[in-house]
C-alpha cells in the first residue's frame, strides 16, 4: 500500500473520534466522514506499519443515517465531526462508544438537545494575517491552518453576527499581533462580551464605538495580553476597554455574573439538563452538607443550594471565586461559602474540623482528577459523589480508582452538550460502599 493509491472499500466499524474503519488485506484504514455500512472509493493519504489513513473520493453506497451537512466547510473545519450524521444517529453513535468504553458500568442513553444547531454561547476565533489579509475562522483538524468561514452552524446567531462584523471591520493594522477573538453571548440575558487576545493593544477606539453602536447586547470589551509561545488561549493580564470584565448569564433561574476567565458550559440549554441530572443523582434533602469541588463561578453549587443545608465550594481561580461570592449575593443565597484555596488544604481543613460531608460535586477539566485530587476527595470522605465529566475516558479511569477506594458507580447519564461533535458530557452517580 502506498500514498495516493485508490481502493474501493466497505466501512465495517467506526472509532469514537468519528473515523470509519475499513480493512485492505491485513491493513486497517481510518477514513473521516464515512459511516458504518457504506461502500466508498478512497485515496490513501498516510501509511504506517499497521494502519493507514485515507480520504473519500466517492460514496458508492450511502448509509440511511447520512444527511447533507448544513455547513459549507464541514469536513475541512475541525470543529464538527458528525454533521454528516442525522441527529438521532449521532446519539446512537455516542451511546455505542460509551458502552464499548465502559463495559462494566451502567451507561444510560444520552439525553439529546431540542436544538442541536446554533447552541454555543462561546467562540474563540483564531486570527492570522496571511498575504496581506486578515484570516479568521476555525482551525483545520490536527493543524494550525485556519479554515475561513462566513458563519458557524453551532454558534449562536448573535455570535455569528458579531463574528461577521469583525470580519468586515478588522483591518490588517487593527489585527496586528492578535491571536484570538473571544466572544460570549447569552440568549436569556441578551448580554455579549468581546475579548481581544494578543501581544499588543491596537488603535481599536473607533472599532469599539462602531461595534457597541451596532450591537446593544455588548456589555463588556476586554483586551487580554498573551505573549506566550504555546497553545494557551488566555494570558494573565488584561485591560477593560468598554463596560466591565464580566457579563450576566442565567442558570436554572439563578443570575450568574461571569468573568471572561471563568468557566461556563458552552451549551446553556443542555447545561440546565445536565445540572438537573446532577441534582437528581445526588438525592438531596434539607439536612445535607454538600462540597462543590472545581466550583468555578458557583453555577452547580447555587443550583443545589435551595435543596440542602449548606454548600461549601472550593476553586483555585481567584476571579471565579469572586464571581461565585457575588452570585450568592445577587440571588439572595446565604447557605453557600466559596473559598479560593488549594483543594488539598481545603480537604485537610474539613478533616481536621471532622465535618461530615453528604455529597461531593466534582466537575474537573478534560484531564479529569489527578491522583492528588482523588486522594483529597477521599479525605473529604463524602457519602456520595456526583461526578460531572466532559471526557468519558478520564471519567472511566477515575471511577476505577474510586472503586478501589470503596465507592461504586450506580449509573452514568450522558448529556449531549456538544451536538455535531464526538464530545459528550456525563453525570456519574457514585456511592460509598464501605
Residues with a known catalytic role = 390
Parallel/antiparallel/unpaired status of strands 246-251 and 254-259 = antiparallel
Rg, the chain, Cα only: 23
Amino acid at each position: 500500500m502506498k500514498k495516493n493509491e485508490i481502493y474501493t472499500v466497505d466501512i465495517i466499524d467506526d472509532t469514537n473520534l468519528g473515523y470509519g474503519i475499513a480493512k485492505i488485506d491485513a491493513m486497517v484504514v481510518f477514513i473521516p466522514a464515512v459511516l458504518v455500512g457504506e461502500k466508498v472509493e478512497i485515496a490513501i493519504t498516510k501509511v504506517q506499519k499497521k494502519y493507514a489513513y485515507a480520504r473519500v473520493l466517492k460514496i458508492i453506497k450511502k448509509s440511511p443515517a447520512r444527511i447533507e451537512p448544513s455547513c459549507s466547510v464541514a469536513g475541512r473545519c475541525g470543529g464538527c465531526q458528525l454533521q454528516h450524521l442525522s441527529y438521532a444517529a449521532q446519539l446512537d453513535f455516542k451511546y455505542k462508544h460509551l458502552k464499548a468504553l465502559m463495559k462494566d458500568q451502567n451507561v444510560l442513553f444520552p439525553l439529546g438537545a431540542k436544538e442541536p444547531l446554533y447552541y454555543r454561547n462561546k467562540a474563540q476565533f483564531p486570527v492570522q494575517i496571511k498575504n496581506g489579509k486578515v484570516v479568521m475562522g476555525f482551525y483545520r483538524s490536527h493543524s494550525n491552518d485556519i479554515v475561513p468561514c462566513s458563519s458557524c452552524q453551532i454558534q449562536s446567531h448573535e455570535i455569528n453576527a458579531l463574528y461577521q462584523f469583525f470580519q468586515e471591520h478588522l483591518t490588517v493594522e487593527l489585527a496586528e499581533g492578535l491571536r484570538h477573538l473571544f466572544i460570549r453571548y447569552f440568549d436569556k440575558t441578551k448580554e455579549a462580551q468581546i475579548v481581544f487576545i494578543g501581544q499588543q493593544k491596537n488603535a481599536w477606539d473607533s472599532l469599539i464605538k462602531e461595534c457597541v453602536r451596532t450591537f446593544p447586547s455588548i456589555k463588556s470589551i476586554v483586551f487580554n495580553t498573551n505573549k506566550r509561545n504555546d497553545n494557551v488561549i488566555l494570558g494573565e493580564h488584561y485591560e477593560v476597554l468598554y463596560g466591565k470584565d464580566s457579563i450576566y448569564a442565567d442558570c436554572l433561574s439563578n443570575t450568574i455574573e461571569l468573568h471572561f476567565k471563568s468557566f461556563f458550559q458552552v451549551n446553556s440549554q443542555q447545561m440546565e439538563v445536565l445540572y438537573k441530572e446532577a441534582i437528581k443523582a445526588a438525592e438531596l434533602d434539607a439536612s445535607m452538607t454538600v462540597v462543590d469541588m472545581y466550583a468555578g463561578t458557583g453555577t452547580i453549587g447555587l443550583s443545589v443550594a435551595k435543596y440542602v443545608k449548606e454548600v461549601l465550594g472550593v476553586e483555585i481561580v481567584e476571579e471565579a471565586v469572586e464571581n461565585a461570592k457575588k452570585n450568592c449575593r445577587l440571588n439572595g443565597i446565604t447557605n453557600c461559602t466559596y473559598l479560593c484555596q488549594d483543594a488539598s488544604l481545603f480537604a485537610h481543613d474539613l478533616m481536621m474540623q471532622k465535618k461530615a460531608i453528604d455529597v461531593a460535586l466534582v466537575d474537573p477539566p478534560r484531564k479529569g482528577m489527578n491522583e492528588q485530587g482523588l486522594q483529597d476527595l477521599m479525605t473529604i470522605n463524602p457519602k456520595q459523589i456526583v461526578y460531572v465529566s466532559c471526557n468519558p475516558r478520564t471519567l472511566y479511569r477515575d471511577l476505577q480508582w474510586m472503586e478501589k477506594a470503596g465507592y461504586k458507580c450506580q449509573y452514568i447519564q450522558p448529556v449531549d452538550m456538544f451536538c455535531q461533535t464526538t464530545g459528550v458530557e456525563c453525570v456519574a452517580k457514585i456511592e460509598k460502599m464501605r
